Chain A
Amino acid sequence: MPKPVPADLDALLNRPDLWRGGNCARPAGAAVGSGHAALDAVLPDGGWPCGSLTEVLTGALGAGELSLFLPALRQLDAEAGWIVLVAPPAPVHAPAWHQLGLPLSRLLVVEAGGADAAWACEQLLGSGALAALLAWLPAADARSLRRLQLASSGSRTLSLIFRPERVASQASPAPLRLALRGRHDGLQVDILKRRGPPLAQPITLSIERPLPWSRLDQPVRPPAPVATARHTA
């Protein structure tokens, strides 16, 4: 015979930081939809959480590490604030940003290295003026990540910290951790950590790419001849 659940336990289970092993935690705060139904279904908040850190582990550039977040970034309007990139791994190309439907008028780039980058993130999160923070912190230690998690928990900012794949085995204070890997049929998203039971299977998403994914199934064309003579009209 199952014992009746004491009332105190119900109150406890209402806390966003406590959950039963089989279920996900209750949504803790605001979230912004990821634009992929399959992903929203497995994220405890039903989307990317605003007001806590999300750690994204990526390999080489070009797998679609930014494109995964495009639908969410487009939803953040001018009221929500600025989008700030801290220590991006390569210069951001303005025409691409514009073509993808993101406003350049609310984008700022902060070039900083090492400890300065983490410091800049903390300052930016504390200002309350950001809709999204995208930071590349390959060398950040657990202490500075914990500081960022604290700074982020007081804000409404979508906080994405990009780190290399090799730190997957290290502990992290971020409540949500993802590993991204490019594949030939989409972007493979592996949820390493979430407030809920571990996910057995990585999910593969057809994120936006410059060409339709079906193009990858077509046979390889030989490259065009090299441009040697000057083109004359």
Chain B
Amino acid sequence: MRWLAIHFFRLPVEVLALPAPAAAVAQQRIVAADRPAEQAGIRPGMRLADALALTAALRPHERQPAREHAMLESLACWAGHFTPQVSLAPPDTLLLEIGGCLRLFGGQAALLDAIRQGAEAQGLSLRFGLADTPLAAHWLTLADSTADDWQAALAALPVAVLALNDGACKRLRALGLDTLGQLFALPSASLGHRFGQQLPLQLARARGELADPQVPFAFPERFVQRLELPARVEHADHLLFAARRLLLALAGWLAARMAGISTCTLVLQHEDIPPTRLALGFAALTRDAERFLRVTREQLERHTLAEPVVELQLIADAPQDLPGNNSALFGQQGAGDIGPVVERLRARLGDTAVHGLALQDDHRPECASRAVDWPDEKSAAQPAATQRPLWLKPEPQALHEVAGRPTHGGTPLRLLTRAERIESGWWDADEALGDLRRDYFVAVTAQGNWLWIFRDPAGWWLHGYFG
């Protein structure tokens, strides 16, 4: 077991997404300050009045525990991208068991880099703690320690991590006990006698001498997450940053559930008018965050907001099973995946602009070919016995008849075959093409172009080209 604790130490202020410098405040004291405010000397625990004296430009905002908790759950979903075993340590820490997935991400350093980049892309600051027990990992976030020798790092931690009451802290200081290492050296029975039974139990859990089971985070059945925007947004493309948080959480949630989606809905809430629903469609089942972001960007770039947006909501309620891919044994790479580029084309050109073709069991040429969303692996229909033209005009084009022979471009056509009678379709005369009675010929023009023409009681018609 290898536990990674991620401490989002600025979560109370970062969840508010205020312009810098900003700070979250509870009971007139600073709870968390963003980076510019910290550089100005503002520290958690400071009085609000003192902080404002340091920086008049500071934007204090009342802390919102409910939003922090929702954000932490959303981050737990996102963490599902890295490991299926995630636990919450409220108010601002996640515990991830990463021992089983180091190889997948190419080692510990690569995994930590990926997590750090993912958090920074969402505008979050974090500190890591890495240890073999969850409690030690949690405590080590204070020192932002990912050292391999976690026991030494743990022994060097100050006793403040124990979160004891003021009286106990004073007594520890009076005894000259500053670090956990000094506590570990004392007999646990006497520690329990002086500071309460909880303390030796905690120490034993941190060192791995006592089991410390964690409640795993239950990934929800449906993905419905909302994000309140800090200000009214008037341009659709400004929404992308906020949508990114939701989309990354969605990708992690899908990874943890081994599922993929082919569609999801981004709901833009307005103040006065009913919400706008943007459907995001994907060519094939996916859980790739990059693809989510690309399609969302294309959609938002094309969208004109009717009203400013105050809140985003992302709904994915039809996940389907999507197993992972096996890596090739020797790392060989086949052709790339066409899915992402098809999504990009569809987002810009429209959903029907990219399509496959399928056969349909019908003798009428117009009905024998149909556009499908995505090509099928196998087709049941049997094509006709004689060769059909590669290009079929959507509407037959009338040909002049001169001396009993059809002409094209002013010159007579040479017919090369006997008539092929196609007579079919009496059943859908009212709603579709209807009853046909045609004699088809292969013809060639004076310029050497091969055409597919037919004759019916109304005359000669050009219907296709042998391309």
Contact = CB atoms under 8 A, between A and B. Distances in A.
Nearest to B451: A62
Interface in B413-448: 414-419, 421, 423, 437-439, 441-442, 444-445, 447-448
B391 A90 contact: yes
A108 B393 CA distance: 19
A89 B417 contact: no
| Most A-side CB within 10 Å, residue of B338, B392, B404, B417 | B338
A95 B369 contact: yes
Interface in A38-68: 59-67
Interface stretch (A10-18, A170-178, A190-198, A218-226): A218-226
A227 B348 contact: no
Contacts of B348: 116, 119
A93 interface: yes
A194 B458 CA distance: 49
Contacts of B404: 222-223
A120 B354 CA distance: 10
B378 to A, nearest CB: 7
Nearest to B353: A111
B390 A93 contact: yes
Contacts of A108: 338, 342, 354-356, 375
Contacts of A95: 359, 368-369, 383-384, 388
Contacts of A63: 447-450
A201 interface: no
A211 B417 contact: yes
Nearest to B458: A226
Given A108-B355, A108-B375, A127-B336, A120 B349 contact: yes
Interface residues of B, number: 72
A93 B375 contact: no
Interface string A102-126: 0011111111100010011001101
A79 B345 contact: no
Given A62-B450, A104-B359, A106-B375, A92 B335 contact: no
A226 B457 contact: yes
Interface of A: 59-67, 79-82, 88-100, 104-112, 116, 119-120, 123-124, 126-131, 181-184, 209-211, 215-216, 220-224, 226-228, 230-231
Interface of B: 334-338, 340-342, 344-345, 348-349, 352-359, 365, 368-371, 375-379, 383-384, 386-394, 404-406, 409, 414-419, 421, 423, 437-439, 441-442, 444-445, 447-451, 455-457, 464-467
